[in-house]
Structure 1
């Protein structure tokens, strides 16, 4: 089944599962844990959480921003523009760190994220997922937008728990959506026996490839990371 054939109810279910699993981790975090490093270069837990908050806020805006033109991206091609750009990435990291630092009380940031993420799921459940919406300079259906939110949340869940060994990992349904997206970007099922979690890390530049993995991937090894 291609992503465009996934029933709308399933898309919302996966978003609810993925956001809910991440929220369960965030709910347990206190100020001390908020300073732990993550798998995102230069970001502590509180910085990454601010980024996730911004993504949920963007989703709320997009779900209420109907477009008058047809989609020019889907849940896979949405990621074509997300490639490593050292200067832009550094500026983005700096902006997030400065913005997150304005929350002197981590509890305020945590609670704002939790209520915004919950509102995003509610908005997605109420939306016409076939309707084109605008976000990040592109147009895609609301259903495809929901899938991109799942992918981002599942990958950042992995980032968040890097130094939280007792925290649960992402929802399996969310990681399955990441695999489907990465296979779509690769143009074929990945020819390496990777778990969904390792595939998510390796194909987004979070885990280095071994010589054996490079041989199995062939020319496609040079295309990784597929997005960051």
Structure 2
């Protein structure tokens, strides 16, 4: 599968739809479950994903920068994980989560906002450039890849917190895995599927010594968030 604009947009829609289905099934008690993204509980992590999924609506209403300067891989550089940026990200999600106590309302608001973002994307040309809240000028398609990463990877965190099997969709798995591997094939002897690539590359599952050796022998360096 090529990572085209249509491919990425389909992945965004698929993954947001899957997450929305899960959110509609949550109970108030589920919202207080701890996650592997401390200090966030489920309600905080959902608020973070919600904000990220809906962000393009405002970005596309702003003037377009003249040219893209950062791609999706560059977006996840060390600057995004600097201590102050990380604190702001954590605190922002917790503030938003305090206002969200009804699971049905949370699910409805998420659906409304990601669909509004998708509709805003549909009205743009594929060569549109946007400016992120960090000041990066990015091609629309590249930024949309980062949205698929946010919804897909944090979906794994939510699944773990809720005691559910991961619901990662095939389209999102393909887009995120392509980003994490730079589009290169993972050594077949590792036997990794797309879900394993995501878990290993994002630190959800640690790499073993054998896996590091195989990746090194293949000259494959997985994109590590913050690295």
2:160 partner SS = coil
Describe the shift of the 1:25–1:106 C-alpha distance in structure 2 as closer, same or farther (beyond 3 A).
Answer: closer
2:176 pairs with 1:178: yes
TM-score for the superposition, normalised by structure 2: 0.84
Match of 1:109 in 2: 106
Alignment partner of 2:33 out of 36, 49, 52:
36
1:12-62 alpha-carbon deviations (Å, 9 max, x no partner): 222211211111111211211111222322211110111012112322112
Tell which deviates more after alignment, 98-107 or 157-166: 98-107
Partner SS for 2:34? coil
Q: CA deviation at 1:158?
A: 0.7
- Which residue, out of 136, 141, 144, partners 1:138? 136
TM-score (norm 1): 0.83
Query: CA contact under 8 A between 1:82 and 1:227: conserved in structure 2?
Result: no
Gaps of 5+ in 2: none
CA RMSD of aligned residues (A): 2.7
Output the CA distance in 2 between the equivalents of 1:68 and 1:172: 32
The answer to whether structure 1 residue 12 and structure 2 residue 9 are counterparts is: yes
Change (3 A) 1:220 1:81: farther
Alpha-carbon distance in structure 2 between the residues aligned to 1:87 and 1:195: 35
1:86-109 CA-partner distances (Å, limit 9, x unpaired): 554345324422431233444433
Residue 59 of structure 1 corresponds to 56
* 2:115 matches 1:121: no
How far the C-alpha of 1:81 sits from its partner, in A, is 4.1
Alpha-carbon distance in structure 2 between the residues aligned to 1:73 and 1:61: 19
Structure 1 residue runs of 5 or longer lacking an equivalent are none
Deviations 1:106-144 (A, max 9, x none): 443332222111211222222222111111311112122
- In the superposition, relative to structure 1, how do residues 30 and 42 fare at CA in structure 2: closer, same or farther (>3 Å)? same
Distance 1:2 1:66, change over 3 A: farther
